[in-house]
């Protein structure tokens, strides 16, 4: 399944008339990385890679995440949700914007939960 992030990277890259190879080179990521992200073959995307790709495209990470108040999207990939929490600006809880530290707490809790689920599935 192609993620929202993958779709946004491809859309922006094409708007800028840039090849996947050129984007990978500018972002200083592996040659197949961009293709795998855009096609959905890569299930996760580390935050530093997201930042490199955004910088190479000349956009904010929020634009790759679909962090626009008027944009709605769906995803079945839990890692997309984790990335959105980590890198989206203006997320709120009880009408208060989450701080970087609060997002880190959520990230740690989600990663613990996901690791536990993966471990339990091994049995």
The CATH number of the domain holding residue 6 is 1.10.260.40
Domain assignment present for 85 = no
- Maximum C-alpha span of the chain: 48
Domain assignment present for 17 = yes
**In which residue are the tokens 């580390």 written?**
46
Distance CA 120, CA 117 (A): 5
Whether residue 64 is found in the same domain as residue 109:
no
pLDDT per residue of the chain (123 residues) written in tens, 0 to 9 = 457 888 889 999 999 999 999 999 999 998 888 988 888 787 666 777 888 898 999 988 878 877 544 344 445 567 667 767 776 667 788 888 888 889 889 888 988 888 898 889 887
Domain assignment present for 103 = yes
Whether residue 98 is found in the same domain as residue 44:
no
What's the domain count of the chain? 2
The CB density around residue 50, as the number of other CB atoms within 10 Å, is 20
| CB-CB contact of 54 with 64 (8 Å) | yes
Q: Which two tokens stand for residue 48?
A: 């530093």
Domain assignment present for 20 = yes
Domain assignment present for 82 = no
């Amino acid at each position: 399944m192609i993620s929202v992030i993958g779709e946004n990277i491809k859309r922006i890259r094409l708007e800028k008339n840039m090849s996947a190879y050129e984007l990978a080179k500018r972002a200083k990521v592996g040659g197949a990385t961009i293709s795998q992200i855009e096609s959905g073959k890569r299930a996760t995307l580390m935050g530093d890679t997201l930042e490199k790709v955004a910088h190479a495209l000349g956009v904010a990470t929020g634009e790759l995440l679909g962090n626009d108040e008027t944009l709605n999207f769906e995803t079945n990939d839990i890692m997309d949700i984790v990335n959105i929490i980590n890198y989206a600006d203006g997320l709120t809880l009880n009408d208060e914007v989450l701080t970087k530290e609060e997002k880190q707490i959520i990230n740690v809790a989600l990663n613990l939960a996901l690791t536990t689920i993966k471990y339990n599935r091994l049995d």
